[in-house]
Amino acid sequence: MGLSETGLSRTENQDCYQAKPTLAVLCDGMGGHDDGALASKHACIAAGAEHACQRGESLPEQVRAMFDSAHCAVRALAKPGRPRPPGTTMVVALRLGRRYVVGHVGDSRCYLLGPDGRLARRLTADHGSPTGITAYVGGPRGRDPDVLVEVIPSAHHLLLTTDGVHGVIDVAEVCARVAAHAPTTRLDVWRLLSKEIRSACLLAGAPDNFSAVIASL
């Protein structure tokens, strides 16, 4: 399940996501680059298409192949002579049984949440510096994601967010508000989390596109 909105200061939503039973993908087109919305859309579609045709590879190799396909798709959008070709962040969570493999480049994040939606820990580390993002699909390290394998406890959740969420609101605080409602089902957790994230982002002025995807075990 996912949520993606333009926000209050942007005219275009450059985020894109897929949410399937065994796959979650979230992309955030690079601001200041050409065709950010196209970059995130093409990366997201390419990752999903790569996943659909995979057979037999290990989960980490499947995730790396998804980034390779996404990177090639975004690179194909580049126009000769343009100084800032398209690029996008991307975070992927791929499930098999109780195992999730998480891959990412850029500053979109993945968090582990408890059964009631409370934040357990952050799983990814941003690729960035004071001057900007240092790795992204279509650019540096675009086909070389950080990949980790997690055995997720039963009934836990993964939350994927763009920086329009975690750069604007306190994710731990929002998750604590969800847990305070004592949700008893996955659907309850997502409905509450979606509502709280949206409300908090809008209350903070929603200066950027904001998107989130939840994957549950």
Task: Give the DSSP H or E segment for 117.
Answer: none
pLDDT class for 34, splitting at 50, 70, 90?
low
Among 82, 81, 80, 74, smallest CA distance to 29 is for 74
Per the CB < 8 A criterion, the answer to whether 3 and 212 are in contact is yes
d(CA 52, CA 70): 14
Per the CB < 8 A criterion, the answer to whether 79 and 114 are in contact is no
Model confidence at 52: pLDDT above 70: yes
d(CA 144, CA 114): 29
Among 39, 49, 50, smallest CA distance to 16 is for 39
The tokens for 43 are 């990366």
Bigger pLDDT: 55 vs 118: 118
Among 14, 147, 7, smallest CA distance to 74 is for 14
Per the CB < 8 A criterion, the answer to whether 15 and 164 are in contact is yes
Model confidence at 123: pLDDT above 90: yes
Please tell me the CATH code under which domain 13-216 is placed: 3.60.40.10
What letter represents residue 166's amino acid? Answer: H
